[in-house]
Chains A and B, each alone.
Chain A
Amino acid sequence: MSTKVRSARWPLALWIFTGAVLTAIPLSLVARGPRGMPLSVALLLLSAVVAAIAQQTLP
């Protein structure tokens, strides 16, 4: 059962990881420009929102 669940997660995990890398590299290069909010800060703000929402699922 756990093996099935784990194998089912692999494609999703790989897809998310690849997507994260492919998104982060060009965006971070753009974010090094002098204008606008640094991508790192924008991602930290997004992380704060994601963490707060995810914590709503805690018992």
Chain B
Amino acid sequence: MERSQASSSWLSKAVVFSLSSAVGGLVTGVALGVAGSLIPPQVRTATGSLLAIVAIVVGGLELTGRHLRPPQCDRETPQRWVHAGPLRWALRNGLALGCGAATRLGFWLWYAIPAGALLAGRLDLGAAIYGTYGAARGVAVWGIILVLARRADSDITGWLVGHRGTARIVAAAQLVLLGVTMAIVVGV
């Protein structure tokens, strides 16, 4: 009975976290898309060209093992949110991580999301780009829950942290691919 209640509590938190993370990303994307629509297209294109080159250079450096620390707040969500209750904690945590800007970013690739949402200059594209990020960040928790459901004794957090190097290479490769494509599309 207690185990069932605990499981139900976890599921409720996970659902609220996932939904609020998606909403956090969506709302941020809408705001950036609207803000981007106020920027003249020529300025957006020029900025996109510049950022494409930056993406190629930074991604290339990361791929060759030169780790550049991205500017970030580098902090977790406030611990005091835990005292607000499990569902409120999940809600606030989801919103904060779905937006991401005020949390630990870790990877340069993250900057492609707000930049892309802003420079797209359209509400729907901004919402799609940032909403995808928020949804993906919220859904990731279900992967962890599934692993823990199969093997409660597994150290999933340790396994994830241990694969940060692989994640860095994949993120850097994606950044280079994105930069090259953007450079071609906007016509550097």
> Which positions in A face B, CB cutoff 8 Å?
5-6, 9-10, 12-13, 16-17, 19-21, 23-25, 27-29, 31-32, 38-41, 43-59
**Highest count of chain B CB atoms <10 Å: which of A19, A48, A53:** A48
A59–B162 alpha-carbon span in the complex (Å): 10
* Nearest-Cβ distance from residue B121 to partner chain A, whole angstroms: 12
Kindly report which residue of chain B lies nearest to residue A42, judged by CB atoms: B181
Question: Which of chain B's residues have a CB closer than 8 A to the CB of A23?
Answer: 177
Task: Name B residues whose Cβ lies closer than 8 Å to a Cβ of A.
Answer: 60, 63-65, 100, 104-107, 109-110, 112-113, 116, 120, 125, 128-130, 132-134, 136-137, 140, 144, 160-161, 163-164, 167-178, 180-182, 184-185
Closest residue of chain A to B168 (Cβ to Cβ) is A54
Q: Are B185 and A38 in contact (CB under 8 A)?
A: yes
Partner of B64, one of A6, A21, A57: A6
Q: Total contacts A to B, CB within 8 angstroms?
A: 134
- Contact B129 A55, beta carbon cutoff 8 Å: no
* A54 and B107 contact, CB distance less than 8 A: yes
Alpha-carbon gap, A20 to B71, bound state (A): 25
Q: List 15 A-B contacts (CB under 8 A).
A: A9-B63, A16-B172, A16-B176, A20-B173, A23-B177, A28-B181, A41-B125, A43-B181, A49-B136, A51-B112, A54-B109, A54-B167, A55-B105, A56-B167, A58-B161
| Residue pair B170, A44 in contact (C-beta under 8 Å) | no
Q: Which of B109, B161, B178 contacts A57 (CB 8 A)?
A: B161
Contacts of B175 in A (CB 8 A): 47
A6-B65, A23-B177, A58-B106 as given contacts; A44 in contact with B185, CB under 8 Å: no
A40 contacts B182, C-beta separation under 8 Å: yes
The answer to whether A17 and B109 touch (CB under 8 A), given A49-B132, A59-B161, is no
4 tightest A-B contacts by CB?
A: A52-B136, A13-B63, A48-B133, A20-B177
Give the docked Cα–Cα distance between A22 and B181 (Å). 10
* Distance A49 CA – B113 CA, assembled complex (angstroms): 10
- Is the CB–CB distance between A57 and B136 below 8 Å? no
